[in-house]
Amino acid sequence: MINDIKQDAEKRMKKSLDALHANFNKIRTGRAHTSLLDSVMVEYYGTEMPINQVASVNVEDARTLSVVPWEKSMVPKVEKAIMTSDLGLNPATAGDVIRVPMPMLTEETRKGYIKQARSEAEQTRVAIRNVRRDANNDLKALMKDKSISEDEEHGAMDAIQKLTDKYIAEVDKLLETKEHDLMQV
């Protein structure tokens, strides 16, 4: 029972960390990388599809992405989807290829992105603490039902706290790396 609670808590904390990774990938650093467009959805025959399922996305150079839709008729739709996304990108079409230049980041936009990254990191920390709270409540319920002893409860709570500390340290490390990437010119 205690191991199930620990495993569930670790799994949920890992999911929070994975979500933070995904959110950090959406915050652009001024350098081109394909995961930047992962959140862009394109209308494909009446259905919203991720851009990587209707086109190939490649890094052309350090500051440019190239997007090549698999169907020529999709070029305007893909271009429109990139333009209307909240990423602030302006694609340029040349035949079948859509080039997406990464605009230079100003000091002000960098600070805005850092603020956004810190906010995402804090939300992840809160989510991890909520997982800890839920696990501790489950342990207290087992203790109340006399399924485990007081010593087992304290030992399990210590293990959950160590797990929480480990994942929060991981969040801090990710945030530090992202801030460093954002401040590089």
Rounded to an integer, the average pLDDT of 134-156 is 88
Residue 29 pLDDT level (bands cut at 50, 70, 90): low
* Full set of structural domains in the chain with CATH: 2-26+106-183 (1.10.132.20), 34-101 (3.30.1360.40)
* Beta pairing partners, 41: 50
| Residue carrying structure tokens 């620990």 | 6
Cα–Cα distance measured from residue 67 to residue 93, given in angstroms and rounded to the nearest whole number: 9
Strand partners, 47: 44
pTM of the predicted model as reported, rounded to 2 decimal places: 0.70
* Straight-line distance from the first to the last Cα atom of the chain, in angstroms, rounded to the nearest whole number: 51
Is the pLDDT reported for residue 185 higher than 80? no
Q: Quick check: 30 pLDDT over 70?
A: no
Q: Is the pLDDT of residue 79 over 70?
A: yes
* Radius of gyration of the chain, Cα coordinates, nearest whole angstrom: 22
Cα–Cα dist 122/168, whole Å: 10
Give the integer Cα–Cα distance in Å for 87 and 101.
Answer: 12
